[in-house]
């Protein structure tokens, strides 16, 4: 039986957001609380995505967290919300 690491479980318990991927192009999903981009050291949870798919993944994950998520937290990086029509 596989063992799930504590770090992985903590990753699943945190809110996520979509943001442009400055390392590989396209969009990625990162931890909501980390203001950095992947090129600056932020963990990219998912990469090589379209904007719509990245936003969908972040929104679906955050919805699954239920009451533990700040419902006002946008699923898109704050400086990108106006360019994608979300927020």
- Residue 82 covered by a domain: no
pTM above 0.85, yes or no: no
> Based on the structure, what is the number of domains in the chain?
1
Name every residue whose Cβ is closer than 8 Å to that of residue 87 and which is 6 or more positions away in sequence.
74, 76, 81
Q: Which domain holds residue 56?
A: 13-73
- Residue 78 covered by a domain: no
Give the tens place of pLDDT for each residue, 18-55: 999 999 899 999 999 999 999 999 999 999 999 999 99
Q: Say whether 6 sits in a helix, a strand or coil.
A: helix
Centre a 10 Å sphere on the Cβ of residue 54 and count the other Cβ atoms it contains: 29
- Residue 86 covered by a domain: no
Q: How confident is the model at residue 9 (pLDDT cuts 50, 70, 90)?
A: confident
């Amino acid at each position: 039986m596989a063992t799930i690491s504590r770090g992985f479980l903590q990753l699943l318990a945190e809110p996520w957001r979509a943001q442009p991927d400055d390392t590989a192009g396209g969009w990625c999903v990162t931890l909501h609380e980390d203001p950095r981009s992947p090129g600056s050291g932020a963990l990219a949870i998912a990469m090589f995505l379209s904007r719509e798919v990245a936003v969908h993944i972040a929104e679906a994950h955050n919805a699954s967290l239920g009451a533990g998520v700040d419902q006002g937290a946008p699923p898109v990086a704050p400086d990108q919300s106006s360019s994608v029509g979300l927020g």
